[in-house]
Amino acid sequence: MKRLLSAVIFLAGFVQAELLLFNDTFNTSNGQDINADLELRQSGTQAPAEWNDNVGNNWQSQIEGGTMRLYKAGTAGSVFASLDADFAPIADDIEISVDMQFPNGEAGFAMVNFGLADTDGFSANAGYSFRVDNRTGDYLLGFYDNGAFRGQSNVTAYVTNINTLVVHYQGGNAVSATFNGWQYVFSSGNTNYAGTVEAENRIMLGWYSDGDPSTSSVKFDNVSVTAESIPAFPAFADITGPNLIPNGDFSALANKVPSDASQWNMTGTFGDFSATANATADLESWSHYYEDPNRLIPAVGTPHVNDGDGELDGTFYLDTHLNGDTVVLNSSMDYRNGLKQEDILNGVAIDSDATYQFVTDLLDPSWNSSESAFTVALTTGSGSDVTNTANAVAGTLQQLVSTALPSSFGSPAAVSISGADLLAVQGSGPVNVIFNHVCDAEIPGFPGGVASNDVKNIALVSQVQLDSVSLHAVIEAQEGDLNKDGVVDQDDADLAQNYLDGNGGLSAADRQAALIGDGMTAAEALAALNLSDFDIDGDGSFTAGDVTAVRALTPWKLKMALNGAMIGFEWESTELKQYDVETCTSLENPVWTKYNDGVATYENILASGTGTNTLSAVLPDDSMRFFRVVEEAGPTSFISVESGSFEDPPGASGSWSVVHPVWNPTGSSLYQLNMGTTHFTTSPDGSWMALMNNIGTISQDLATTVNAGDTLTVTFSGGNAKSESSTTGGGVFNAVFRVGTTPYTMAVDTTGLDPDTWQTYTNTVTVSNSGSLSVEFTTVSGKPWLDNIGAVTRTEPR
């Protein structure tokens, strides 16, 4: 039996809001090469680390006056160059733009490629992009694909002036480009249509020239990627009770003739489609009803038989088909084709406190939809009152224009009715369900003069297909049951973490911020993103705290088994927690004590770190016992260190900045932190790193008191710069835990490291005094580098 659908708000879709994903204005000092500190100039929600030089020959690049200039390196011949940069995955609807110009004009042939790409780089004969070709007094705009150009020309000159190219993508596919007020649109009706262009989250710039080396160049500026809409996270359908409408999924058929057919005419209907000739079946619990104001039925002759009798013999205009899964209703010329089921709530218990949903899952294949409509309702009464919509139960009548119906199953039409109202209706008499379809398209020449090609003309008939109709109670999910499967478990915690991280796209935090910045309230943003249920802590937003709250709601799973003469235990465990196995001999006024089997007392058992703890050899005694496992705070905790990776410098000047004031630096140099590739090819974490000899000493009060006997651990990275760097050679610095005024010092020597390398160090001490805790790093000699200071781990003695 198929699973019936319930309706949810924002089951899928996108919310209109603009969000800058990436922007580069190339504002830095003149004359820098493409590989020099480009990451300084990126901004936006998710800036890439750098532009990558993918392919090219005999070309150079510089930042000049706030623009990126690509130019020929003094050599004749053709040049092709490309750059790319990644940005965060997001949205179905993206717009990218770039300002460009050929400042010196071009005597030869030059082109610019710009777009999102699904390859690692453009080349002269491959790639996916929009292309602008520069010619004297002319340019071309269009799609460039594997060496073939598909586009259109425009006579407006594009030589030395600055113009903006804007490209629009939907669903990863390029749909249009606009340049200098002229637009190129991808459509199947365009003779230059290149087909679907699927793109990844990589923006690319390409340039080709065969012109004079002294003048061949192109300038780019103001590269941006903007999301025009923010995708909601996938929602989960409500938990529902059983369908109160018998055979609401249309699966139960009876009296099938022939039994092995793939579809049948519903018994008592008037279809004459040749593919279902002589095939009939009953739909259990349902009966057919109709209205035929124009007397089409007599013109069909004998239903379900193509015998030449009647001017509409062989037509499919009045068909009602069954296949054990769906119901198909056809209509033409005001023929109302419907099904009904009477007294559906006879003997059914209605919960007056519940909310019920009346849901119809249907589709319209777009046969003459503009002239047709679909009606569905619960009604009261008997006899002719059953199909009279004047007797519809309040709030359940839905009269839908077929053009508004979905083209596939899964987006049901639904209304809600309170249990109290449904109970009152049930008490007043029979409750029925009806649905029907009617199309008012005229059959030319009917009656008496229908042309043969209008007997089976799809333009004269409308069709609606139904997958299910249901009436069910909505069961409120318990707090934390985010996937609405009826239980709160690890799957819900994993789902919360996945959505927080972005579910493969932009993070939940960035999506919420974008919608709030666009004018929504926090509650509206949560609802639009399908995240209302994820705000477990009730602070009005979905954050990491809610993921923690979901995990706290997840019940333990404790298993016990006899292993020969031993008892085995297995339970889910949480990092940094410890556990006691407790026992009692009666659950009536129980007295729980830690269990001792004569060998050990099973207490203070540390979490294994794998998520599961096991005990396999616990001895039983002669008593009947009950067991439980109790979770407690473990002896190990984490103490956070702010700005441990130096990624939030307060005053960047080019590639240098001072350290964050939370560190209380003793030095005042403006060259304490650096980012880029001048001194290192990579950094251990993020972009910024600290040059210790320009800092002197940094220290941070961790706002924590520790006790004698506590063991403290912190990890960090020390480095030796590139051999060509002015800071190469490494140096010595001290890593210090300070408890009160007592230092616990570890010397770190990076002079033995290879140039352009980092090493992770761990400082672990057991302190002999109690007091407030701080961490400190002090330069001793040379030019050591520091980065990636982790949280402090504190383990208390047991």
Q: Read off the pLDDT of residues 79-134 as tens digits, 9 standing for 90 and up.
A: 655 566 665 555 567 788 888 777 766 556 667 767 766 544 443 333 344 555 55
Q: How many domains does the chain have?
A: 5
592, 608, 634 - which closes a domain: 634
Strand-pairing partners, residue 437, are: 337, 374
222 and 86 in a common domain: yes
pTM, full prediction: 0.52
CA distance 738 to 256: 86
In a domain? residue 237 = no
At residue 201, the 3 state secondary structure works out as coil
Q: What is the DSSP letter of 11?
A: S
In a domain, 118, yes or no: yes
Q: What are phi and psi of 381, to 5 degrees?
A: 105, -175
* Residue 625 Cα distances to 557, 580, 587, 613, angstroms: 19, 16, 9, 21
Same domain, 578 and 651: no
List the domain range (segments joined by +) for residue 575. Answer: 558-634
| 248 in a structural domain | no
d(CA 173, CA 175): 6
Residues 44 and 192 grouped into a single domain: yes
Domain containing 145 — which CATH number? 2.60.120.560
Has residue 247 been placed in a domain? Answer: no
| Pair 627, 681 in one domain | no
Whether 536 is covered by a domain: the verdict is yes
Q: Which residues of the chain have pLDDT under 50?
A: 1-14, 29-50, 52-58, 119-129, 135-137, 145-147, 153-159, 188-198
Based on the fold, state whether residues 265 and 196 are members of the same structural domain: no
In terms of domains, do 159 and 285 share one?
Answer: no
pLDDT of residue 75: 62
Cα–Cα distance, 458 to 333 (Å, whole number):
13
Helix (H) or strand (E) holding 777: strand 771-782
Regarding whether 572 and 449 lie in a shared domain, the answer is: no
Pair 569, 683 in one domain: no
Other beta carbons within 10 angstroms of residue 613's beta carbon come to 20
pLDDT at 632: 86
The answer to whether position 305 is within a domain reads yes
Domain end marker among 503, 530, 553: 553
Do 326 and 389 have their domain in common?
yes
Listed residue (55, 64, 154, 151) closest to 103, CA to CA: 64
- Domain presence at residue 364: yes
Instruction: Give the domain-ending residue among 427, 444, 475.
Output: 475
| Structure tokens given for 583 | 């026992």
- Helix (H) / strand (E) containing 591: none
730 and 760 both lie in a single domain? yes
Structure tokens at 585: 């001999």
CATH of the domain at 452: 2.60.120
Are the beta carbons of 680 and 726 closer than 8 angstroms? no
Report the pLDDT value the prediction gives residue 614, as an integer from 0 to 100: 94
CB 131 within 8 A of CB 143: yes
Examine the domain organization and report whether 133 and 94 are in the same domain. Answer: yes
CATH number at residue 659: 2.60.120.260
Instruction: Give yes or no for a contact between 688 and 655, defined as CB atoms under 8 angstroms apart.
Output: no
Same domain, 587 and 648: no
Which pLDDT score, from 0 to 100, does residue 55 have? 38
Check residue 7 and give its pLDDT: 33
- Structural domain includes residue 481: no
Q: How far is CA 225 from CA 86, 204, 422, in A?
A: 11, 11, 52
